[in-house]
Amino acid sequence: MKVHEYQAKELLGKADVAVPAGIVITTPAEAAKAYDALGGGLVVVKAQVHAGGRGKGVAVGPEVDREEALAIASGKKPRPDGMAKGVQLVRSAAEAEKAAASLLGKTLVTYQTGAEGQAIKKLLITVGHDIARELYLGLAIDRNLKCPVLMASTEGGVEIETVAEKTPEKILREPIDVGLGLADFQARKVCKALGLTGATAKKGVVFLKNFVKFFIDTDASLAEINPLIVTDKGDVMALDCKLNFDDNAMFRHKDLAGLIDEDEEDPAELRAGRSGLSYVSLDGDIACLVNGAGLAMSTMDLIKYHGGEPANFLDVGGGAGKDQVLEAFRILLDSSRVNAVLVNIFGGIMKCDIIASALLAAYDEIDFRVPLVVRLEGTNADLGKELLEKSGRKIITADGLTDAAKKVVAAAKGHAA
């Protein structure tokens, strides 16, 4: 689950990680008020969308071609005068109001959103700081090391993807023991690598330790501060922050679950979640309905092995009753990319003939516009298969995983042609 910058900063602030003061607003008039409330001077108006690259991004209305906007936001085309950026520095209440009006209700296109862009509904109005240095900090889970890794670089404020690709030696990587958090010596090492000295280094150590503690305590999966700034007064502060939390840990963070912005999430994944189904969206054209994560993984592997690409997979878990299967089919078929559906279910406690009846009932209630391949294994598998074959519906039955994968790959290719 991703959260907005303003939510991330609120959480970091509570965890004693230094962030600039800010106010969230939804109208231009509120922006002017917020400017005054923040004490005037340099103030920053920031579009709140779940994507980075806002500083170079463009806020556009429906009249602007989105591909053109993307080319401008990615620096491939020159920026026309007067095209609003997603992050704007202002110096008066009137300017704040004007900046807000240029953003609210528009679509922000950045190199990260793609041409589609994202709707701007909220702005963060935040105290501006004079920047002495822009640094980079990131925390992510390293799957090989099986622990979080703190990444730090002096190359802040720019696209870290480029730094990682061209000059990876400029990114320091420090593995974290989740039981201990960031040790003092590690914090000092990172501060040294970032070129922080004296009182600033002391502030840096506190910042880093609290940041890492926050990451571990909240079961975050990704946290990126770009830029981390050193102000002209020698303070260390998170000027920007992207945060993702592990969805599978949300059950122990009920307070965080409320931060979800449903407008920014994959609608199919949200819909599946509400019915107790796990849905994962992928790039191919074969939809998969399975029970159990292990079976899902092997189904994906076999489809790929036989030359196909999964469009998604939906795990119905332990149960596969009619209502669940019906909702699952609806979600799977919602994507226009889908050229075939594979049902691969192991009937253990739930017998295969019962599952077959549920499949048939669901099949009849929806307009099944693509081929359906079904492989049932387990208790009463033969009975289930017989029911499907004798039903008179256009359902392709399969024996075993390989047969199912081959049949669905062929069916998808046939349907696409």
**Nearest CB to ligand GDP, comparing residues 112 and 324:** 112
Length in residues, the chain: 417
Residue 340: CB minimum distance to Mn ion, A: 41
- Do residues 242 and 223 lie in contact, with contact meaning Cβ atoms separated by under 8 Å? yes
Catalytic annotation present for 136: yes
Residues forming the site for Mn ion (CB under 5 A): 226, 240
Going by C-alpha positions, the residue among 356, 357, 398, 358 that lies closest to residue 375 is 398
- Among 87, 208, 268, 302, the residue binding ligand GDP under the rule CB under 6 A is 87
Helix (H, G, I), strand (E, B) or coil at 284: coil
114 scored as a contact of ligand GDP (CB under 6 A): no
- Among 227, 284, 371, 384, the residue binding ligand GDP under the rule CB under 6 A is 227
Alpha carbon 82 to its chain's center = 31
**Separation between Cα atoms, residue 100 and residue 47, nearest integer Å:** 9
- Do residues 127 and 133 lie in contact, with contact meaning Cβ atoms separated by under 8 Å? no
**Separation between Cα atoms, residue 85 and residue 79, nearest integer Å:** 10
- Do residues 15 and 249 lie in contact, with contact meaning Cβ atoms separated by under 8 Å? no
**Nearest CB to ligand GDP, comparing residues 129 and 406:** 129
Residue 403: CB minimum distance to ligand GDP, A: 49
Among ligand GDP, Mn ion, none, what does residue 72 contact (CB within 5–8 Å per kind)? none
Structure tokens that stand for 325 in this block: 């299967």
239 scored as a contact of ligand GDP (CB under 6 A): yes
**Nearest CB to ligand GDP, comparing residues 74 and 281:** 74
Catalytic option among 136, 174, 279, 377: 136
- Do residues 84 and 58 lie in contact, with contact meaning Cβ atoms separated by under 8 Å? yes
Residue 129: CB minimum distance to ligand GDP, A: 4
User: Apex CA 264: angle with CA 29 and CA 213, to 5°?
Assistant: 95
Instruction: State the burial class of residue 184 (Cβ atoms within 10 Å of its Cβ: 0-12, 13-18, 19+).
Output: exposed
Residue 379: CB minimum distance to ligand GDP, A: 53
Residues 6+ apart with CB under 8 A from 388: 356, 359, 360, 374, 376, 395, 397
Among ligand GDP, Mn ion, none, what does residue 371 contact (CB within 5–8 Å per kind)? none
Pairing of strands 372-378, 340-347: parallel
Residue 196: CB minimum distance to ligand GDP, A: 19
Site string for ligand GDP, 45-64 (x = CB under 6 A): -------xxxx---------
Would you give the DSSP letter of residue 23? E
Catalytic annotation present for 6: no
Site string for ligand GDP, 321-340 (x = CB under 6 A): --------------------
**Nearest CB to ligand GDP, comparing residues 118 and 324:** 118
240 scored as a contact of ligand GDP (CB under 6 A): yes
Instruction: State the burial class of residue 70 (Cβ atoms within 10 Å of its Cβ: 0-12, 13-18, 19+).
Output: buried
Residue 47: CB minimum distance to Mn ion, A: 12
Going by C-alpha positions, the residue among 413, 417, 414, 353 that lies closest to residue 381 is 353
Which residues ranging from 155 to 174 are in contact with ligand GDP (CB under 6 A)?
157
Count the residues of the shown chain that bind ligand GDP, applying the rule CB under 6 A: 15
**Nearest CB to ligand GDP, comparing residues 154 and 281:** 154
Residue 396: CB minimum distance to ligand GDP, A: 48
- Do residues 126 and 81 lie in contact, with contact meaning Cβ atoms separated by under 8 Å? no
371 scored as a contact of ligand GDP (CB under 6 A): no
Among Mn ion, ligand GDP, none, what does residue 131 contact (CB within 5–8 Å per kind)? ligand GDP
Whole-number CA gyration radius for the chain: 26
**Separation between Cα atoms, residue 157 and residue 352, nearest integer Å:** 56
Catalytic option among 224, 327, 363, 377: 224
Active site residues: 136, 224
Contacting residues toward ligand GDP, per CB under 6 A:
44, 52-55, 87, 89, 128-129, 131, 157, 226-227, 239-240
